[in-house]
Structure 1
Amino acid sequence: MMAEQEFHVDNTIRLAERMVRSESFNHLYDEGMSLVEEAASYLDGEGREEARRLSRIAATLYAAESMRLTTRLMQVASWLLLQRASRSGEMTLEQVLSEKAKVRLDTDSAPETVTGWDEIPLSYCDIVHRSLRLQARVRQMDDEIYNEGVGAEQRRMLSANPVSDQITLLATAFSHR
């Protein structure tokens, strides 16, 4: 019975993993990299000018949110680059898992009810919202591929690494909150 269950788990079709291996991944990759470029351009240009016109409270919020946005997008871009490297055979699964352990896909945004948020430019809010949606999609794929979708071979590789074992235990503990 156990071998039968294990066989079933290993043969489950994982849509996220299949998507990363397909041509449709290119669209997600392009979307992510374009958003990184758009955010950088905005923060260096129009955003810098708009930030100067904000109240002190809103300017502080804008600065903090800009750091969160930049962190979020760099982490998503790192994940996308790892998937592309894995897909093209430039990295082994072990290398991807090692590097992926450094990627955090949990950078939140300040609640829109916080003082000063109503002063933040709409064009900037749009970038923040799109980055959060992109991060959520990537996090969902990551969970399906690397957590719930871990097959027998990957489980053996993960259990050979005590750090990965601890990360998996922590992720499992915090996912049931």
Structure 2
Amino acid sequence: MTESDEEWQGMEARITPRLIDSLYTEAMLLADEARAYFDETGRDDRQLLEPFARVGFACESLKVTTRIMHIVAWLLTQKAVESGEIRSVDGRRPERRLGHANESDPAVIVQMPEAAQRLINSSADLYSRIKRLDEGQLVDEPAPSPARALMGRLERDFIWNRDG
């Protein structure tokens, strides 16, 4: 186990509003980059590929989109838990878990243009980090504290009012 893995495991019970907001911002920026690339610039790159690689390009663009959609849905669920809209014990229900996203084939990725490779790898990295957080929530937790929920809402509202 690497030091980085240990840090992430130590965070299993520390999904804070600030972490959720940071990851949400990262996911939305990645989504915008992916959309811009695959809908615009990537079209020219795709045309330069061999026919089989073009199919791989299309599949990988869908995988990137799927990963990002699952990430955003999971983060929005975490926000709802933090705000009290969803009880935290409900977070263990299968529909509240991070959705499954297929992995990319390294043999296909190396055939892609460099910009596509960066997006594919970035989405896979972010998905992997979110997956570790999601899996960390499966440990037995004490009953949710109403005081902690209130503190989380106050912290979120304070940051929202300060920034907005």
Do the two structures share a fold, i.e. TM-score over 0.5? yes
Whether 1:36 and 2:31 are equivalent positions in the alignment is yes
Q: How many residues align?
A: 135
Q: Judging changes above 3 Å, is the alpha-carbon distance between structure 1 residues 126 and 31 closer, same or farther for their aligned structure 2 residues? A: same
Structure 1 residues 65 and 139: alpha-carbon distance in aligned structure 2, compared to 1, 3 A threshold: same
Alpha-carbon contact 1:105-1:135 (below 8 Å) kept? no
1:139 corresponding residue in structure 2: 131
1:62 is matched with which residue? 57
Structure with the greater alpha carbon radius of gyration: 1
Q: Contact between 1:68 and 1:109, CA under 8 Å: does it hold in 2?
A: yes
Q: Is the 8 A contact 1:86 1:92 kept in 2?
A: yes
* 2:12 aligned counterpart, secondary structure: helix
CA RMSD of aligned residues (A): 2.3
TM value normalised by structure 2: 0.71
- Using structure 1 for the length normalisation, give the TM-score: 0.67
For 2:72, which of 66, 69, 77 is the aligned residue? 77
The residue number in structure 2 matching 1:15 is 11
Q: Which has the higher contact order (CA 8 A, sep 6+)?
A: 2
CA 1:24/1:76 → structure 2, altered by over 3 Å: closer, same or farther? closer
Q: Which residue of 2 aligns with 1:108?
A: 103
Please tell me whether the aligned partners of residues 66 and 101 of structure 2 are also in contact (alpha carbons under 8 angstroms). Answer: no
For structure 2, the residue ranges without an aligned partner over 5 or more in a row are 1-8, 145-164
Letter in 1 for 2:96: K
Task: Give the ranges of 4+ consecutive aligned residues of structure 1 lying more than 4 Å apart after TM superposition.
Answer: none
